Amino acid sequence: MQSAKQIKSKEILKILERLYPETPIPLKHKDEYTLLVAVVLSAQCTDERVNKITPLLFAEAKNSKEMVKLGQKSIERIIRPCGLSPQKSKAIYGLSKIINENHNFEVPDNFKDLENLPGVGHKTASVVMAQAFGYPTFPVDTHIHRLAWRWGLSSGKNVEQTEKDLKRLFPKLKWNSLHLQIIFYGREYCPARGHNLENCLICSRYRRKTNYR
């Protein structure tokens, strides 16, 4: 017999697939490397802003070899509007150097090597594995973490636990598209602030007694 949470997850999946049958990748990129850099830049920055900055950066350096030649100071100058430019420029320069020296100028296609790159945590590695290499994974950022708690799909203790909970509830074949569908839905119907319960198909259906985040 299915649990109430399993039944709810199936109904939520139906809603998300009806609203978002296609899941275009929000960050503009041309290959695995430009995607990796864009994801690093997206930390505490909107996708819209990243998409305005990356064409300027990639016009100067479109691959890891050119990025190292461009240098950290020039990288920092270009990406300054994305915020945290000292840390992000150091990460982009550092990961590019390692890709050149240790991975034959190719972005590694496994979690271990990706997570060993500067500025690349599990969430960033998950996005690259899913969107660049098609590996089934479930990237969980703070937005998905919040929504999983709000919808009663996870205890919300930490992002690691939320990832495990969502992977148990949803079919593996849906993971890559589902994490984008949840992000799209959160932006349109279920924001952290100014949330209108009556306009949110999911929250209005599964109203919880506890306070929403």
In this prediction, residue 130 carries a pLDDT of: 96
Please tell me the distance from the alpha carbon of residue 145 to that of residue 29, in angstroms, as a whole number: 25
CA distances from 126 to 26, 131, 183 (A): 15, 8, 15
Q: Name the pTM for this structure.
A: 0.91
- What end-to-end distance do the CA atoms of the chain give, in Å? 31
In this prediction, residue 2 carries a pLDDT of: 77
* 4-23+138-205 placed in CATH 1.10.1670.10: yes
Q: Is 141 among the residues known to form the active site?
A: yes
In this prediction, residue 211 carries a pLDDT of: 45
CATH, range 32-131: 1.10.340.30
- Token pair for residue 133? 């290499």
185 pLDDT band (50/70/90 cuts)?
A: very high
Annotated active-site residue in 141, 164, 165, 174: 141
The predicted model gives 177-201 an average pLDDT of 92
Q: Is 65 among the residues known to form the active site?
A: no
Residue 212 reports pLDDT greater than 90: no
Annotated active-site residue in 123, 157, 165, 167: 123
In this prediction, residue 36 carries a pLDDT of: 98
The predicted model gives 172-177 an average pLDDT of 96
Domain borders along the chain are: 4-23+138-205, 32-131
In this prediction, residue 207 carries a pLDDT of: 61
Q: What is the 3-state secondary structure (H, E, C) of 124-181?
A: HHHHHHHHCCCCCCCCCCHHHHHHHHHCCCCCCCCHHHHHHHHHHHCCHHHHHHHHHH
